[in-house]
Amino acid sequence: MLNKHKGQSTVEYIVLVAAVIAVAIAFFTGTGAGTFRNTMNSTLATASGQIDTMTGRMVNAQNSTIARAASFTGLDETTVEKGFCPSGVNPATGVCF
């Protein structure tokens, strides 16, 4: 009995994939294509703007930490950024001395 229905799932799968492709083509090229593109572009612009904002916050936080460490240790920011301590590191505090 099962042998009679083996091809049915394959045909259903092909019909389903064809329907999804047809809807996608109609959606991207039909009258709603402009609305979809506008919505997609807006979403991508918002997401990339938020990524840029967070990246800026992280860079500012890192620069602020480097500046505080430089003022605390008396070293210039470039030296602190590279993690170089000319006299060594105080093992108790982890600070250059």
pLDDT in tens, the chain (97 residues): 455 556 668 888 999 999 999 888 877 776 666 777 788 889 999 999 999 899 888 878 877 877 787 787 777 777 666 665 666 666 566 666 5
Give CA–CA dist 90/85, Å, rounded: 10
Q: What is the predicted pLDDT for the residue at 17? A: 94
For residue 88, tell me if it sits in a domain. Answer: no
Question: Tokens at residue 24, please?
Answer: 């996608």
For residue 96, tell me if it sits in a domain. Answer: no
- As a dihedral over the C-alpha atoms of residue 20, residue 21, residue 27, residue 33, rounded to 10 degrees, the angle is 150
For residue 93, tell me if it sits in a domain. Answer: no
For residue 94, tell me if it sits in a domain. Answer: no
For residue 55, tell me if it sits in a domain. Answer: yes
Give CA–CA dist 95/72, Å, rounded: 9
Q: How many domains does the chain have?
A: 1
| Beta carbons of 49 and 57 less than 8 angstroms apart | no
pTM tops 0.85: no
Question: Tokens at residue 94, please?
Answer: 């982890």
For residue 2, tell me if it sits in a domain. Answer: no
For residue 12, tell me if it sits in a domain. Answer: yes
What 3-state class would DSSP assign to 1? Answer: coil
For residue 42, tell me if it sits in a domain. Answer: yes
Domain that holds residue 56: 8-82
Give CA–CA dist 19/13, Å, rounded: 10
